[in-house]
Chains A and B, each alone.
Chain A
Amino acid sequence: MADAGLPLPLIVPLGDAGLLVRFATTLSDAANRRAIAFARLLRRDLPFGVSEIDPNLVSVLLKYDPQMIDFDRLAGEVRLLLGSGTAADEADEATEYAIAVEFGGAVGPDLAEAAAATGLDVDSFVKAHNAGPLRVLTTGFAPGFVYCGFHPEALQVPRRTEVRRSVPAGSVLFAAGQTAITSTTIPTGWHVIGRTAFRNFDADAAPPTQLREGDAVRFEVVR
């Protein structure tokens, strides 16, 4: 899993029953890809004593049972796996999804503001937003909530200064070079630019989420 662009990952405790493999401390495409690949590797070959693997934006959490293994021993196992060079081929497992979005209007109240922040008019912004497929970076924060990235530099916009107390499921959010899709009602400080009928989370389905980290997402204007 050598990656010339990144330093060696840090292996740190997260509480007394968690081990976090951090590929970076800031968000980057390379670190995210490594986290996804390493999580896949771990899932194929779950280390002894580990109950759960959770990939995040630039890290992977391993939850373990301290009755079965201690941190140092698990860290040793993880170090061996990191050095084993058997990275999963992410292209093999990536699925592409088309997500139809109604942009702006009542369901995308921050579209104009987000477009203005990039110096584009609304139509050009939507076009630029939908131009390339994004990758699902991770699922987190709330049920089925996915972070998709990365947009080009020209579309980097910070979060809003105010937090909306509640946005509905299917909200399409934009900030920090990413687009996120909500699957439940949540508060957010991101720009709400539209809404989709796509629901990534269904507690009764198996698995409960459709999108997996590493999948490709193409946003399009709803017909």
Chain B
Amino acid sequence: MIEKEPRYRIVARASAAGILFPLSIVAGYLLGRWIGRALGAGEWPAFLGAALGVAAGFWNLYRLLRGLEEPDARK
């Protein structure tokens, strides 16, 4: 028998994804900017970092949604 996950844990996971989404963009941008300045490579690493942050936030949200699927519907 499959045990259902407690509701508070689902809410906690969803909240974490919501917080991680903007944080990943900001973190990516700041990390990229720091790398760009440290290497003297200009501003493009900052944009690359922001782009990777957007992608990471999106993937994290998708992983959360996959995790919430009903086991029977997952193939």
Q: Do A and B bind each other?
A: no
Task: Enumerate chain A interface residues (CB-CB to B < 8 A).
Answer: none
